[in-house]
């Protein structure tokens, strides 16, 4: 078996023994680019990308491809034009370890970034591509490590989870959620001293590097268990069901803390009995509450939901399995971990039986597709979700799916279609008195009013969305509403107020550890656009770096392109060419117009 290792310092191995590396300083760059490309690569593109300084660029491409065939011992590979790998079944590529069905233990051996140590001079477009790929692949490794750690904690094997959580922290040390997962693993493994040390390390790091304090969830993670220490006067099924209903009712009434406490007790009572299905139901209810009702608790919620999924699957409780896997998918979508989100949502879909269940899963799938910039998939998934929700009589699900569908049309500047979707979403929201969702479609609808010059309607909608979002203390909705108010002031020519609102939007939407990363990147895009419109390059430059890294890490395809467009505006070489290459994979007429107008 021939193995191509691109993660860390690149190398070739046959049956575990090292082989001679291909000659030519750009050979690894060509190999990496061709193997990771979404489709076969034209030779002319390789020549422009990596050999434009050669006397005979196409000749340099031919020589490099021939050298790769010699080094790999694969005479039929990398032939033709466009160039496809065609490596065969006896060749393994370590990047495929990132697939959902690969053994996560192999990820622990990976050290370093993609083709670590390979640098190519005077090839700015390739360097831009490589930077994006390094962020994207590092994020995929981190997501798989986290998934493995969460699964082991939920399965009662926290000591085994420590290694995976530690590697996730090493990859992304400023992500508080990674530290929280490690603290939870250590505490549940019985190593309270190491857990407390990790808390101190995280607190110091966040304070020093980001100037922020760690959330309460970090310290709470050191408390072992989900509520096993709680003892009630009653025990058994009746007590668990009573606490389950009480918890749900309290959360529905807005008494979140009391509701979560009841659900923790329901989990503790269900754990005393042998009713696996009831254990799954109580865990799923608690997990949903932690994810949707308590800020900064997605890490704990994911562990609880993972355990719920296992219990429900074992008990043959399909509806609860759908709920647990769907919510795990939702957590991953918000965090920008696309591959693990797809895996959880595929599991949810496999259990779904009713229109309502399928509608809820398709809605999250559509959100994931829209976030990554895959609009054809998003429209298909969200459209089907709306229809199934309507057939099933689930007005809230229909409103939610229409809101996300409307967002996709807004991003593509399809005003009529966006208006129809958002007006219907708001109509359903108001009929259901669903205040906790209202700011999202309301802010988007106000943006449409702005686009046609109806500033009075836009002002009213955005101010209402802002006030309600603040009352709900929802970081995502606060960010969306504040962004709209910033755009409104910018349109009126009040640049200082616009900057103030957009800065506030960026602060609000990123103030919790389990933030919705798409909203954060979307707000940064608007803040940068406004700064560059007023020639504030020094202000925009660090924001562009933050946005580019965030968009690449979270696989936000369209926002990666927009970040490259911003880089082109401040004069970075190769940025516009990279934006155009990447933009070819995003079906958005408005983005196409921006790329055309960029010069």
In the DSSP assignment, the letter for residue 3 is: E
Residue 129 or 89, more confident: 129
- pTM score, whole prediction: 0.91
Does residue 230 have a pLDDT over 50? no
Does residue 362 have a pLDDT over 90? yes
High-pLDDT (> 70) share of the chain, % = 97
What is the rounded distance in angstroms from the CA atom of residue 317 to the CA atom of residue 43? 53
Q: What is the pLDDT of residues 449-482, one digit of tens each?
A: 999 999 999 999 999 999 999 999 999 999 999 9
Does residue 227 have a pLDDT over 60? no
How sure is the predictor about 226, in pLDDT bands with cuts at 50, 70 and 90? very low
Tokens representing 410 are 């807004």
∠ CA 358-364-369, rounded to 5°: 120
The candidate with the shortest Cα–Cα distance to 499, out of 459, 469, 527, 471, is: 527
What is the rounded distance in angstroms from the CA atom of residue 79 to the CA atom of residue 7? 24
Secondary structure class of 436 (helix, strand, coil)? coil
Does residue 494 have a pLDDT over 60? yes
Does residue 283 have a pLDDT over 90? yes
Contacts of 421 (CB under 8 A, 6+ apart): 402, 403, 405, 406, 409
Q: What is the pLDDT of residues 51-95, one digit of tens each?
A: 998 999 999 999 999 999 999 998 989 999 999 998 888 888 988
Secondary structure class of 149 (helix, strand, coil)? helix
Cis status of the peptide bond prior to 549, with omega within 30 of 0: no
What local confidence, expressed as pLDDT, does residue 142 receive? 92
- Dihedral, CA atoms, 98, 340, 151, 261, nearest 10 degrees? 160
What is the rounded distance in angstroms from the CA atom of residue 374 to the CA atom of residue 367? 10
Helix, strand, coil percent values for the chain (each to nearest 5): 70, 5, 25
The values of phi and psi at residue 41, to 5°, are: -105, 125
Query: In sequence order, what are the beta bridge partners of 449?
Result: none
The values of phi and psi at residue 336, to 5°, are: 80, 20
Does residue 202 have a pLDDT over 70? yes
Residue 254 or 23, more confident: 23
Q: What angle, rounded to 10 degrees, do the helices at 43-50 and 57-72 form? A: 100
Q: Are 25 and 120 in contact (CB under 8 A)?
A: yes
The values of phi and psi at residue 32, to 5°, are: -60, -45
The candidate with the shortest Cα–Cα distance to 405, out of 420, 389, 427, is: 420
Separation of CA 17 from chain center: 37
What is the rounded distance in angstroms from the CA atom of residue 453 to the CA atom of residue 491? 9
Alpha-carbon separation of residue 556 from 5, 219, 347, 408, 460 (angstroms): 26, 31, 23, 13, 31
Secondary structure class of 53 (helix, strand, coil)? coil
Q: Which of 287-301, 388-402, 532-546, 555-569 has the lowest mean pLDDT?
A: 287-301
What is the rounded distance in angstroms from the CA atom of residue 556 to the CA atom of residue 560? 6
In the DSSP assignment, the letter for residue 23 is: S
Alpha-carbon separation of residue 43 from 72, 131, 292, 486 (angstroms): 20, 22, 49, 46
Does residue 154 have a pLDDT over 60? yes
How sure is the predictor about 100, in pLDDT bands with cuts at 50, 70 and 90? low
How sure is the predictor about 225, in pLDDT bands with cuts at 50, 70 and 90? low
Average pLDDT, the chain: 93
Domains and CATH numbers, the chain: 2-122 (1.10.10.10), 136-220 (1.25.40)
What local confidence, expressed as pLDDT, does residue 255 receive? 86
Contacts of 428 (CB under 8 A, 6+ apart): 395, 396, 398, 399, 402, 434
Contacts of 372 (CB under 8 A, 6+ apart): 338, 555, 556, 557
> What is the layout of strands, in order, in the sheet containing 2-5?
17-18, 11-14, 2-5, 91-93
High-pLDDT (> 90) share of the chain, % = 83
What is the rounded distance in angstroms from the CA atom of residue 338 to the CA atom of residue 166? 21
- For the segment 433-461, the average pLDDT, to the nearest whole number, is 96
Q: Are 432 and 425 in contact (CB under 8 A)?
A: no
What local confidence, expressed as pLDDT, does residue 228 receive? 39
Burial 508-534 (b: 16+ CB within 10 A, else e): bbbbbbbbbbbbbbbbbbbbbbbbbee
The candidate with the shortest Cα–Cα distance to 290, out of 236, 246, 226, is: 226
The values of phi and psi at residue 85, to 5°, are: -60, -55
How sure is the predictor about 112, in pLDDT bands with cuts at 50, 70 and 90? confident
């Amino acid at each position: 078996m021939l193995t191509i290792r691109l993660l860390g310092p690149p190398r070739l191995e046959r049956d575990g023994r090292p082989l001679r590396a291909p000659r030519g300083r750009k050979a690894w760059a060509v190999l990496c680019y061709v193997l990771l490309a979404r489709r076969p690569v034209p030779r002319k593109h390789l020549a422009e990308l990596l050999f434009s300084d050669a006397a005979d660029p196409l000749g340099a491409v031919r020589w490099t491809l021939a050298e790769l065939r010699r080094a790999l011992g694969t005479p039929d590979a990398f032939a033709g034009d466009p160039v496809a790998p065609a490596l065969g079944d006896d060749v393994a590529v370590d990047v495929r370890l990132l697939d959902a069905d690969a053994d996560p233990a192999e990820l622990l051996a990976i050290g370093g970034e993609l083709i670590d140590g390979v640098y190519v001079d005077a090839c700015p477009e390739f360097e831009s591509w490589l930077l994006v790929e390094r962020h994207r692949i590092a994020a995929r490794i981190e997501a798989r490590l986290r998934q493995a750690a969460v699964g082991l904690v939920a399965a009662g094997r926290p000591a085994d989870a420590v290694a995976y959580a530690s590697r996730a922290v090493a990859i992304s040390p400023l992500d508080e959620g990674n530290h929280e997962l490690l603290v939870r693993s250590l505490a549940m493994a019985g190593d309270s001293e190491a857990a407390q040390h990790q808390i101190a390390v995280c607190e110091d790091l966040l304070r020093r590097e980001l100037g922020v304090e760690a959330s309460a969830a970090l310290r709470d993670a050191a408390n072992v268990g989900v509520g096993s220490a709680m003892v009630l006067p009653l025990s058994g099924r009746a007590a668990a069901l009573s606490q389950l209903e009480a918890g749900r009712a309290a959360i529905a009434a807005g008494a979140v803390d009391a509701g979560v406490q009841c659900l923790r007790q329901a989990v503790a009572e269900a754990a005393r009995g042998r009713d696996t299905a009831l254990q799954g139901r109580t865990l799923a209810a608690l997990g949903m509450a932690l994810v949707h009702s308590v800020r900064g608790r997605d890490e704990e919620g994911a562990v609880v939901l993972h355990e719920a999924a296992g219990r429900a699957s074992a008990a043959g409780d399909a509806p609860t399995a759908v709920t647990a896997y769907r919510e795990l998918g939702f957590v991953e979508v918000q965090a920008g971990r696309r591959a693990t989100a797809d895996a959880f949502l595929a599991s949810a879909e496999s259990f779904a039986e009713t229109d309502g269940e399928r509608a809820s899963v398709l809605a999250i799938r559509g959100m994931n597709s829209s976030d990554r910039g895959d609009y054809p998939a998003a429209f298909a998934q969200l459209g089907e979700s709306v229809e199934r929700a309507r057939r099933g009589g689930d007005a809230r699900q229909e409103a939610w799916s229409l809101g996300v569908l409307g967002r996709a049309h807004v991003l593509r500047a399809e005003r009529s279609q966006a208006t129809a979707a958002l007006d219907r979403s708001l109509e359903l929201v108001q009929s259901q008195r669903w205040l906790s969702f209202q700011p999202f479609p309301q802010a988007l609808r106000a943006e449409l009013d702005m686009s046609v010059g109806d500033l009075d309607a836009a002002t009213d909608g955005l101010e209402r969305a802002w006030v309600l979002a603040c009352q709900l203390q929802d970081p995502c909705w606060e960010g969306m509403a504040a962004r709209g108010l910033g755009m409104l002031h910018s349109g009126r020519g009040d640049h200082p107020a616009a900057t103030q609102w957009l800065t506030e939007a960026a602060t609000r939407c990123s103030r919790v550890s389990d933030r919705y990363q798409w909203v954060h990147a979307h707000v940064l895009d608007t803040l940068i656009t406004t700064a560059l419109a007023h020639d504030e390059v020094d202000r925009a430059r660090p924001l562009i770096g933050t946005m580019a890294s965030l968009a690449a890490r979270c696989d936000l395809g369209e926002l990666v392109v927009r970040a490259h467009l911003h880089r082109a505006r401040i004069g970075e070489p190769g940025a516009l060419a990279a934006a155009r290459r990447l933009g070819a994979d995003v079906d958005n007429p408005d983005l196409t117009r921006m790329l055309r107008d960029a010069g």
